[in-house]
Homo-oligomer: A and B are copies of this chain.
Amino acid sequence: MATARQYMILQHMKNSIYASRIGSGSKQKVPASWLSVLAGRPQPGKVAGCNGLAPLTTDYAATWTRRSYTRKAEVRPHQSFVVSHETVKAKATDKKRKLYTEVRDDTDMEQLTVQWENGQVQEYPYIWLRDNCRCEECFHQSAFSRSVSFPQLDVDIRPSQFRLSYDRQKIELQWEDGHNSSYDATWLYKYRFDQSSPDLTLDPKLHYWAAELQDTIKEYDLDELTKSDECLYDWILQMKIVGMALVKAGSTSEGQVIRIGNRVSFLRCTDYGYTSHVKAKYQDAVNIAFTNKIFPMHVDLVFLGRPPGANIIHCIEQAKGEGGENWFVDGFNMAEELRREDPEAFDILTNTELEFFDIGNDFYGKFHQRSRHPTISLDSRGRPDHINVSDHGRDPMLRIPARKIQPFYKALKAFSNKLYDPKNIFSYKLKEGDIMTFDNRRVIHGRRAFETTTSSSRHLETGYLEWDELDSRLRVLHKQLGYHNL
């Protein structure tokens, strides 16, 4: 933690923190979760260490180091390609308009080279400049979208002349065909190709966790979540960075899941409807969920081509006897751990497609779903993207040569062992009124077996949200709350 910046917390607003950087004295307003994702709520006057998007209090930093998270963070690939605290800060404090210092033509390269006051230099190919002209003819202002489309675009077009405006805020450019374009220095600075800042929702810097989440999981009050935009923002960011948060509904009546869905935008519909009720029922159960047996570690609905993004589980009635705890494991953390410890197994699990299925009859009649996913799905940059684990919905079909079957099982066993290792499991027995919310493409969950008696049962209402909707709400609120320009 030697390189961590330190901040003095000046004021702790409801869901935001106003902090001053020790050494430089620069001040900024940040969402509370950025200083408290893993550390609980910091107090004014307290000094907090900063580690990427989510700074840590110094108290927690010690724990962090002891548990070797820093080592993990070091070897995590693509670490630089994330929204970093530095980026956010630079944007938040650097509100004044940018100015150009120079623009010159590299005719041979068919590009302009631009320099700003801060010394940054960037090449802009002509074609990109023409394609992104923001004049009223080329860009529809109320639809906020490009009006010029590819048939009209000459990929070999060149400027006939260009110059900086006197105030150095604009490049004025005339094209060979007579069209005029103008490029604002602040606007253009945002688009520096592979030098551009990472994106808030597409490039989050995640916090991985294990069993210790039971001490640090953040709690939200559903009434506050419903009323306060800052609280809503904070909860979505928590879901995005940590992948889990506990919401206290203070109610055991049905409909709390829908309240959360409506607060974001809308719930994801499935063959089971908008929400479904999980009650113990062994005879004729159409799903293992509806029994009182152990429910092995899984993510929900992997038998769909596009399983739901986030899980919302409201505990209406909890089993009074022994058992019934939910287990949660950070699938991305486990995937990265496997990549480090057993790269061959990791490779097998990212490349071997399994088939999953679900056959039943529910809200919309009969269904027969079938999907194909690798156990660990990676995004285009090699980051874990989706985890697809479900023993109960896994089909016998494996379309690989027989000689690859045994190595595949060994790899899946290595991954599976991690999912059942107590040191990785956040175990929590939902209290009546609790709503557990988590990222269904990242967090693997299961349930201990439990006792049912005639006087005690177990009843959950569950539903799903999509990440498209959560991310959209996060972006809208981010702008509305004035954190920084997106």
Contact = CB atoms under 8 A, between A and B. Distances in A.
Nearest to A113: B402
A90 interface: no
Contacts of A366: 476
Nearest to A295: B149
Nearest to A199: B370
A286 B143 contact: yes
Interface stretch (A94-102, A389-397, A447-455): A389-397
Given A286-B143, A468-B305, A368 B475 contact: yes
Contacts of A469: 271
Interface of A (DSSP majority class): mixed
A400 to B, nearest CB: 6
B409 A131 contact: yes
A140 interface: yes
Interface string A388-422: 00011110111111110110011011001101100
Interface in A443-486: 466-469, 471-473, 475-476, 479, 486
Contacts of A62: none
A416 B151 contact: yes
A2 interface: no
Nearest to A81: B399
A268 B201 CA distance: 23
Contacts of A24: none
Copies, count: 2
A223 to B, nearest CB: 19
Interface stretch (A120-128, A238-246, A251-259): A120-128
Nearest to A122: B402
B392 A147 contact: yes
Contacts of A372: 202, 380
Interface in A275-311: 283-288, 290-291, 293-294, 296-297, 304-306
Given A398-B128, A476-B367, A285 B413 contact: no
Contact of A143 (B109, B199, B287): B287
B401 A287 contact: no
A353 interface: yes
B413 A201 contact: no
Most chain B beta carbons < 10 A, residue from A124, A201, A397: A397
Contacts of A199: 355, 370
A151 B417 CA distance: 7
Contacts of A368: 472, 475-476, 479, 486
A391 B149 CA distance: 6
Given A368-B479, A399-B196, A406 B472 contact: no
Contacts of A290: 143
A194 B401 contact: yes
A150 B269 contact: no
Given A146-B394, A359-B144, A396-B191, A123 B402 contact: yes
A18 B101 CA distance: 77
Contact of A467 (B305, B353, B398, B406): B305
Interface string A103-125: 00000011100000000001111
Given A286-B142, A420-B151, A201 B370 contact: yes
A406 B124 CA distance: 10
A131 B111 CA distance: 60
A132 B201 contact: no
A145 interface: yes
A365 interface: yes
Contact of A391 (B123, B150, B265, B285): B150
A405 B370 contact: no
Contact of A397 (B191, B286, B466): B191
B155 A393 contact: no
A266 interface: yes
Contacts of A406: 110-111, 125, 127, 155
Given A127-B409, A305-B468, A367-B476, 6 more contacts: A140-B285, A142-B285, A143-B287, A150-B420, A155-B409, A265-B364
9 contacts: A125-B405, A142-B285, A143-B285, A149-B392, A151-B296, A194-B401, A202-B372, A367-B473, A368-B472
- Listed from nearest, the 9 A-B pairs whose CB atoms lie closest are A149-B296, A150-B416, A368-B475, A145-B392, A149-B391, A265-B364, A123-B402, A125-B405, A132-B396
